[in-house]
Amino acid sequence: MNGSTITFDHRAHREFLGRLRTYLRDGQRILDAWNAYSDEHTDLDGWPHDSHAYGLRASRRDADTHTAFEPLRDGARHLLGTVETQLALLPEGQVQSRWVYQLGLLTTALDRLDELDQQWLETQDSLPSVTPGTPAYEDALAEHHAEEWHALDEWTTHGKTILEVNAAARKAPSPLAPRPALAPTPRSRARA
């Protein structure tokens, strides 16, 4: 998980976790609505009844998912960096084997989103006369959102892993503080 950043600002961390929870809820709602639409508007083989309408609805799904992720975007690297540290400090018996794999998927997806953002900036620079609201701009933006969708879906599907590791880390004994010694019992004092 190279390139991850971590801060000791606990308020920022809690805020980013809140943004993640919001994204997971909204992303799942968007995905559920898409699945319901897709089930209703395709034949048994998965072919859309009206490919144009289906494409427009898929574009809306992609744009809505992008919009839902944007508040989390700035904190995503922080969350990955923090969870990497938390995972390293957890006792081995408390680590689920799937976590490392899922966090790798999230990192790869975020790297892909960064690449796509750079490509989008280059696309905008190459079309200086194309402005928002024009068909050329809207088509290019829809294509950008479509390219992002898989990476965003990875965050919808596996983002809860960050919350799971965070919860396990909060419950785990701290490696920075020794376990409190038990108070001597009357029986152990009598032996001494």
Please give the pLDDT value at position 166. Answer: 94
Containing 108, the helix (H) or strand (E) segment is helix 97-126
| Burial class (CB within 10 angstroms; exposed 0-12, middle 13-18, buried 19+) of 6 | middle
The pLDDT value given to residue 128: 74
Cβ(80)–Cβ(106) under 8 Å? yes
Fold of 10-170: Four Helix Bundle (Hemerythrin (Met), subunit A) (1.20.120)
**Which residues lie closer than 8 Å to 101 by C-beta, 6 or more apart?**
none
Closest CA to 14 of 57, 75, 84: 75
For residue 48, what are the β-bridge partners? 42
pTM of the model: 0.81
Least Cα distance to 76 among 26, 5, 140 occurs for 5
**Per-residue pLDDT tens for 45-90?**
889 999 999 999 999 999 999 999 999 999 999 999 999 999 998 8
Note the pLDDT tens digit of each residue in 109-160.
Answer: 999 999 999 999 999 888 878 788 888 899 999 999 999 999 999 999 999 9
CB atoms within 10 A of CB 73: 15
Per-domain residue ranges for the chain? 10-170
Alpha carbon separation from 125 to 64, 67, 115, 116, 161 (Å, rounded): 24, 22, 15, 14, 37
Q: Three-class SS of residue 116? A: helix
| Confidence at 171, pLDDT banded by 50, 70, 90 | confident
- Average pLDDT over every residue of 160-181: 77
Task: Identify whether the C-beta of residue 109 lies closer than 8 Å to the C-beta of residue 34.
Answer: no
